[in-house]
Amino acid sequence: MVLRDRPWPPEDSTSRESVIGYFQFIHTTAVNKLHGLDEEQARATPLPTSPVVNPLGLIKHLTAVQRQHIQRTVGGQDLPSLWRSDDYDFEFRVGPDETIASVVAAYDAEWELSQQTLRGVEWSGFVEGHHGPVRIERLLMDVLQESARHLGHLDIVRELIDGARGE
């Protein structure tokens, strides 16, 4: 896997452009965190108290977060959920046929859909959230902070696996 250039939102970007830019930055940084890992390392679960948390599982979770909140809630898309109510760790589990390439490809494809959705909706509008109506731009701040939080988890897991640190 080749390291990707990480764009930073331009200094003169609008709030909307900045949010989309930071989503892109987080996406690229998360993918780059897999650089240099082999398939076994990408599945490693170095946190004894979180035995399903692994680099590929974190990418799968970020994919599920985008699907649920951006495609399904904001965009109203009729796409299958990537979560299961009977297994709260489902999206962190890596199947035997999943690879770094396939998990990244799914994450990239979801990000492409997310960009289309983010550019096509009125951010000041409301959608039905978990606790009632929520303004789209407010919901997107939740998704952005959750994505950044899980990127931090990915930083820690990666460092525990092979000592790699930094962005």
pLDDT digits (tens, 9 = 90+) for 57-102: 999 999 999 999 999 999 999 999 898 888 778 888 999 999 999 9
76-110 as b/e: b if 16+ CB within 10 A:
eeeeeebeeeeeeebbbebeeebebeebbebbeeb
Residue 17 clears pLDDT 90, i.e. is over it: yes
pLDDT tens figures, 22-33: 999 999 999 999
Q: Average the pLDDT over 36-58 and give the result.
A: 96
**Distance, CA of 54 to CA of 57 (rounded, Å):** 5
pLDDT for 86: 80
Residue with tokens 């983010």: 118
DSSP-derived secondary structure letter, 46 = -
Length of the chain: 167
Residue 1 clears pLDDT 90, i.e. is over it: no
Q: Which CATH number fits domain 15-162: 1.20.5.50, 1.10.10.10, 1.20.120.450, 3.40.50.150?
A: 1.20.120.450
Q: Average the pLDDT over 37-62 and give the result.
A: 96
Identity of the residue numbered 94: V
pLDDT tens figures, 112-160: 999 999 999 999 999 998 889 999 999 999 999 999 999 999 999 999 9
Report residue 166's pLDDT band, with 50, 70 and 90 as the boundaries.
Answer: confident
Residue 167 clears pLDDT 80, i.e. is over it: no
Q: What are phi and psi of 87, to 5 degrees?
A: -150, 95
pLDDT for 84: 81
Residue 107 clears pLDDT 80, i.e. is over it: yes
Domain boundaries, the chain: 15-162
- H/E stretch holding 133 reads strand 132-135
